[in-house]
Amino acid sequence: HWTLLSVSLLNCLLSTACSVGLALAIALTVHSRGTHLVSGCNSSALPADARSAIATNDCPFNTTRIYDTALALWFPSLLLAAAEAVLSGRCCLVALVFRGIGPCARGYGKVQV
């Protein structure tokens, strides 16, 4: 029970941190209209808006769809990380009930008897 409690609590904390980090990355990217995504490119041909960026030889990657692709990958990742945090939190509560700690622990013990 202690292993379940410690692993689920650690996973809940890490998943929550991942969700917060992804939400922050999405917010900063939308706010800056993707200019930070193409900041590694040292070309004056790149526009200020990453949505209309063009592929140049000065950039190590294709910049044509980086804004849309990043957001398309980050939104599902954010949802999955949030779901993982919720499920890990529930697993942590189950471990607490098994240990006899928490509001449902007394009812669980009576059911077992």
What total number of domains does the chain contain? 1
In a domain, 112, yes or no: no
Compute the distance between CA of residue 74 and CA of residue 80 in angstroms, rounded to an integer: 10
Answer yes or no: is 45 within a domain: no
* pLDDT by 10s per residue, the chain, length 113: 788 888 889 999 999 999 999 999 899 888 887 777 776 666 555 555 555 555 555 566 666 677 778 888 999 999 999 999 999 998 888 888 877 776 666 655 555 54
Q: Which residues contact 4 (CB under 8 A, 6 or more apart)?
A: 91, 94, 95, 98
Please report whether residue 42 resides in a domain: no
Domain annotation covers residue 43? no
Asked, for residue 24, whether it belongs to a domain, the answer is: yes
Parent domain of 67 = 1-36+63-99
Whether residue 94 lies inside any domain: the answer is yes
Q: Which two tokens stand for residue 18?
A: 């991942």
| pTM given for the model | 0.70
Could you tell me the end-to-end alpha-carbon distance of the chain, in angstroms, rounded to an integer? 19
